[in-house]
Structure 1
Amino acid sequence: MYYCFLRSKRFELLSIRKSADKINESNISIILEPVKNSFNEIQKTLSKINPNNFIFIINPKVGNLKNNDEQLIQLTKNLIESNSSLIVGLNVDHSYNFLQIQNWLNMFNQSKFVLIHSGEIRFDTKLINQQEQIIKHIFYKDSVEDYYINQFSKDKILLEDNFKRLKRNYDYQENRIEFFSDAHLNYKSKGYQGFGNFSTIGNHFSQNGGQAYTSAFHLTFNHTDNDIFIKHCLSKPRTYHENIGVLNEELLEDIHSVIQNNIGLLTWSSACQELEDMYQKKNFSYHLGTLKSLSIQHHFELMHLLKIKGVY
């Protein structure tokens, strides 16, 4: 099973809602880390996804709600009140003790939990294995050792950051196409019950971003032997600020060229259909967040395609 880790920003939530049918059909799980108290947006998103495949993190590591237990508890209670099947996600690492975990379990004693290991807990893991509320474990790749993972008895999912983020969009010019992931092909042979990533945006988080010199769009695709590669579409590389409308037009032209050279994308990717429609209508006034949403949406559609083809 594929697990997609996203945060509760507007455009991430929009990509989930627009892909909901394919997410549900291919049994994709959403891991959502709340970064602001946007209950209505989160609830609207949850209402479209199978709640058994929706993990809501109660202790985010980034964003405005970090360390704000009072707001997070109320937000989670409100979500559970509207959908009792919601799964609670709990970030744990070496700083967490068993009493803290037990307090969360007791607070939501009717809910199922998933532990998300961004580091190794330092108490007897048998205490965790004995907790029936905890149904799965998600492990950050390269943050925990194999011997640690093997101590847990429930389903295990390996979470990777497959997106190679560069400091400047300009730098993607050096490597326009690169390997993204083959986890969907080998996760079972490595002893996992699922695999996960941060879609096409990676684990990097920032509250705000300024205008870039070069605009970028990231498109995943099925490559030889069913590996997943990623294509970086760019506006013309430059080292000075240009009018955003110019950047948007150049970027959309590059995206159009990629789609035309891979016309089969239009048969299954509604995100690519929307991008092509924007190009034909010369819609160059779009928000860059729209492109980020479409990039994530397309990746959901790719994972759906590979699932229904039986690739994983």
Structure 2
Amino acid sequence: MYYPYFRGKQFDLLTIKESADVLAKANIVSIIEPVRESLSGLKRTIEALSASGAEAVLIVNPSYGDHTESSDAIQKFVTEEIKAHQNVCVGVLLTNNIDTSEALQICSTYPSHSLYFIHFGFTEPKALAEATLTWEREICHVFAEEYCGKLYQKHFSDRTRVLLRNGFKRQANRKYPDIEPFSDLHATYRDEGVDGFGDFLIVGDEYTEGGGPAYAVAIHLTFIDPEMDNAMYIYHFKSDRQDTPTDPAGKFYEALTKLIAKIEEPDSKILRTSAIEEFADLYKRKHFPGLGYIKKLSMKHHIEVLADYLE
């Protein structure tokens, strides 16, 4: 089972909304950390997932964005605005800034929802495991790999467990290699002793409000290589010009030209997803839709690649 982790910016939510049917068919569960004050886009996303029969986890105590000071708006959103949607589970983010009593208080606010505990530096696993031992509610634990070793995870061995790995190492676009490993967790998660796997798609765990000027434009595309035991790799198709922040449209076309050439190779390992077809259409029309839209297409492609693998 695949659990992609999204921070709910505009194009992240559009990715989920437009991929709702794919997510439902492959039983993919989206984890969403809302970071924008307005929840209208999130509501439309939840409605699209509900209509398709896909499940989502909504983090009710985000650590980034506009709801970090108060989660009252999210509480009202969950308990009132999307109350009719049974496909939404409550996610509790467990960082080093929260203790067991606070986590339990959040859970008590949502007594009728299934729970996902998202472990991101939490320091009281034993206390939490003991406090929830007899709970009959459906509970899943999601472990951010860099914070949660095997001993930590062992406290929750009686519950459903998911391992979350950051396969995308963010850096300046011009510094990316042409190709690098992404993850093998989709093929090995059972060997890790967990029930599912997740990642941060082609965005990475690092949170930023907005990008600076793009000296280089890069298109990030994942693929699974059957010749390498089905490990996943990522291409970074970069523009030729990388010295000034001018002409992003022209630089996008330079990067896109390399992507199209790779797709058209007879032994290409890039899956022809709907996102790839849209990239091909943009190339044909020489159209630049904006950097956020490009990121959305790369995220949709990543979801479709893993959906195809899981099916």
Find the residue that maps to 1:261 and give its secondary structure.
coil
For structure 2, the residue ranges without an aligned partner over 5 or more in a row are none
Q: Over the residues paired in the alignment, what is the CA RMSD in angstroms?
A: 1.9
Distance 1:268 1:276 in 2: 10
Instruction: Find the partner of 2:240 among 233, 236, 239.
Output: 236
Q: Which residue does the alignment assign to 1:97? A: 99
Q: How many Å apart are 1:64 and its aligned residue? A: 1.3
Q: How many Å apart are 1:266 and its aligned residue? A: 8.2
Q: How many Å apart are 1:130 and its aligned residue? A: 2.5
Q: Which residue does the alignment assign to 2:167? A: 162
Cα shift readout 1:189-217 (whole Å, capped 9, x = no counterpart): 22100000001111111112222110011
Instruction: Find the partner of 2:218 among 216, 219, 222.
Output: 216
Contact 1:52 1:87 in 2 (8 A): no
Q: Does 1:37 align with 2:44?
A: no
Instruction: Find the partner of 1:195 among 191, 194, 197.
Output: 197
Q: How many Å apart are 1:99 and its aligned residue? A: 2.2
Contact 2:201 2:302 in 1 (8 A): yes
Q: Does 1:289 align with 2:292?
A: yes
Distance 2:165 2:268 in 1: 28
Find the residue that maps to 1:276 and give its secondary structure.
helix
Q: Which residue does the alignment assign to 1:19? A: 19
Find the residue that maps to 2:296 and give its secondary structure.
helix
Q: How many Å apart are 1:139 and its aligned residue? A: 0.6
Distance 1:118 1:4 in 2: 15
Q: TM-score, normalised by structure 2?
A: 0.92
**Count of residues in Structure 1 that have an aligned counterpart in Structure 2:** 304
Distance 2:251 2:240 in 1: 8
Find the residue that maps to 1:82 and give its secondary structure.
coil
Q: Which residue does the alignment assign to 1:298? A: 301
Distance 1:230 1:262 in 2: 19
Cα shift readout 1:217-272 (whole Å, capped 9, x = no counterpart): 10001112211110001111422222222222212222222222268778740000
Distance 1:262 1:32 in 2: 38
For structure 1, the residue ranges without an aligned partner over 5 or more in a row are none
Instruction: Find the partner of 1:207 among 188, 206, 209.
Output: 209
Q: 1:187 to 1:79 in 2, by over 3 A?
A: farther
Q: Which residue does the alignment assign to 1:110? A: 112
Q: 1:262 to 1:165 in 2, by over 3 A?
A: farther
Find the residue that maps to 1:156 and give its secondary structure.
strand
Q: How many Å apart are 1:97 and its aligned residue? A: 2.6
- The correspondence of residues 245-264 of structure 1 with structure 2, limited to 5 A, is 245-261=249-265
Q: Which residue does the alignment assign to 1:74? A: 76
Q: How many Å apart are 1:188 and its aligned residue? A: 0.7
- AA paired with 2:14? L
Q: Does 1:307 align with 2:305?
A: no
The 4+ residue runs of structure 1 with deviation greater than 3 A are 262-268
Q: How many Å apart are 1:103 and its aligned residue? A: 1.6
Distance 2:54 2:69 in 1: 26
Find the residue that maps to 1:142 and give its secondary structure.
coil
Q: Which residue does the alignment assign to 1:129? A: 133
